[in-house]
A and B are shown apart, each in its own frame.
Chain A
Amino acid sequence: MIRRKNLVWSGLALLAIWQALSWLVHQPILPGPVEVAEAFWLELVHGDLLAHFAASLWRVVASTALSILVAVPAGLVMGQSRRVNVIFSPVVYLTYPVPKVVLVPVVLLFFGIGDLAKIIIIFLVLFFQILVLVRDQAAALRPELIQSVRSLGAGRRALFRFVYLPACAPAILTALRQSVGTAVAVLYVTESFATRLGLGYYISLNATTLANYPAMYAGIVAMGLMGLGMYFGVDALEKRIAPWNRGN
């Protein structure tokens, strides 16, 4: 477990390195943290950074939630039922390594330029990661454990509720932890196309068209904070849901 004090210190160290680099480079394309913080505050209060942030947050949270809701039951069924696994495992095996990001144009063509297309792309990326981890976890459960719980009177529904779901909670959290970064990265890619809302658009707009570098960095910081916040969220969830797994 990382201590909070150490987190603060390493954060400060990163800021110091940033400031030192900015002094060294001494060009408008690398403003220091103080200047960026000012721009961040201005854009947040007077500009529309908040609206872009909210749009991005909605997309990434909605797609993450959707992936969990679809991939967890699917993974549980695949891990538990040999018959289903025999049919679908080759499909997953073939599609898992395909980089889903290259499907961005296809999904845009099919689902238009709205939120739905962006949510679907992030969903495609996360779905497979969560599915595979949950499936393997469900398949790794000892048959003795299942038998002994069945002998207590558990049918299929109760096995899901009392065995498979709690057994897979750590796998779900691991999958989430691994995919938070990916989700935000894919979000950035999707927002660089055909949209006027979202942090990805905001960053590239300020980088190229407006050449407003402090604002561009403010957008980058906002995106970083979003990823960090989701990561902390997963950590907090883990402490609540899977305390037996601490330290593993």
Chain B
Amino acid sequence: MIQCERVTFAYPQRPPVFEDFDWRAERGDAWAVIGPSGCGKSTLLSLLAGLRFPNQGRVCVDGEELKRPRPFTGLIIQDYGLLPWATVRQNAELGLHLRDFYGADGVHAPREARRAGAESATAWLERLGLSGLEDQYPSQLSGGQRQRTAIARTLALNPDLLLMDEPFSSLDAPTRDGLQALILDLWAEKNLTLVIVTHTIEEAAILGRKILLLKTPPNREAVIMENPWAGAPGYRDSSEYLALCRELRSRLEQA
């Protein structure tokens, strides 16, 4: 699904964040990306989203090299992702409006135009428990409701790859647990490929079947930990989970 082939990326006048970096993710995988701040987690995500491009090497999604954001990739960021001047419904329908705006040109919108349209946004708003809030503005919502609106907006476009950049880090613990469970449900149900960037060890262990560890740049190779029971019921209380968290913690301290 995702291939990073000998990717080198540097911000201008800075040492490279990635150097000759190889990494691949299979379709249907759930990845958590973790590392200390400044390690390039968010940079990796914007490379995968087609918002930035490597200086050398290439990033392929679904067999195609990224030249621009891909219509079937959804991106959810920590905050500020919603239009403050648009209601919940308008925000949820934004992606669909954008597709209408360009038409099915294959560049900004997929060529196979499926006019699921407003119904699909409404269905997702309902599914995510936002019924009755459709006419509210983001500033009138709680943090959890805002993130659910962002999720509805992304899922209305029927993505096959979901990228999330610290999506829950500004939320309180119960809300965060609820949304993590929701994401795991959606992942299983829609056969999504998931890449979640996080700085919390627990979140990486809960959501990532595979965990990519990044370190202080430059990152030259992908350090990967397997976490096959992520998402299983009761995993949070198991000894495997606790052992993995311990292991992650000690590895992060070395990074």
Contact = CB atoms under 8 A, between A and B. Distances in A.
Given A153-B109, A167-B85, A147 B51 contact: yes
A167 B139 CA distance: 15
Given A153-B108, A155-B108, A162-B97, A142 B85 contact: no
A158 B80 contact: no
B84 A244 contact: yes
Contact of A244 (B78, B80, B137): B137
B83 interface: yes
B85 A242 contact: yes
Contacts of B153: 152
Nearest to B153: A152
A153 to B, nearest CB: 4
Nearest to B99: A153
Nearest to A242: B85
Contact of A169 (B85, B109, B154): B85
Interface in B73-112: 73-86, 94-95, 97-99, 101-102, 107-109
A208 interface: no
Given A151-B51, A152-B95, A145 B102 contact: no
A150 B51 contact: yes
B94 A149 contact: yes
A166 B102 contact: no
A245 B85 contact: yes
A155 B94 contact: no
Interface string A161-194: 1110011010000000000000000000000000
B86 A166 contact: yes
Contacts of A167: 85
A244 B82 CA distance: 13
B145 interface: no
Interface in B44-62: 46, 49-51
B94 A162 contact: yes
A151 B98 contact: no
A154 B108 contact: yes
Interface in A134-164: 142, 144-145, 147-155, 157-158, 161-163
A142 B85 CA distance: 14
Contacts, number: 79
B109 to A, nearest CB: 6
A169 to B, nearest CB: 7
Interface in B152-166: 153-154, 157, 163
A interface, over-half SS: helix
A25 B224 CA distance: 91
A206 to B, nearest CB: 47
Query: Which interface residue of B49, B84, B157 has the most chain A CB atoms within 10 A?
Result: B84
B83 A163 contact: yes
A155 B105 CA distance: 12
B69 interface: yes
B51 A166 contact: no
B71 interface: yes
B85 A148 contact: no
A93 to B, nearest CB: 26
Contact of B101 (A144, A161, A163, A245): A161
B102 A151 contact: no
A155 B51 contact: no
Contacts of B69: 150-153
A242 B137 CA distance: 12
B81 A162 contact: no
A152 B83 contact: no
Contact of A144 (B77, B84, B97, B157): B77
A59 B84 CA distance: 36
Contacts of B78: 144
Nearest to A170: B85
A88 to B, nearest CB: 23
B137 A142 contact: no
Task: Kindly list the 5 A-B residue pairs having the minimum CB-CB distance in the complex, ordered from nearest.
Answer: A151-B75, A148-B81, A144-B80, A152-B95, A153-B108
Interface of B: 46, 49-51, 69, 71, 73-86, 94-95, 97-99, 101-102, 107-109, 137, 139, 150, 153-154, 157, 163
28 contacts: A144-B77, A147-B51, A147-B75, A148-B76, A148-B77, A148-B81, A148-B150, A149-B83, A150-B51, A151-B69, A152-B95, A153-B69, A153-B102, A153-B109, A154-B108, A155-B107, A155-B108, A157-B101, A158-B102, A161-B101, A162-B97, A162-B98, A166-B86, A242-B85, A244-B84, A244-B86, A244-B139, A245-B85
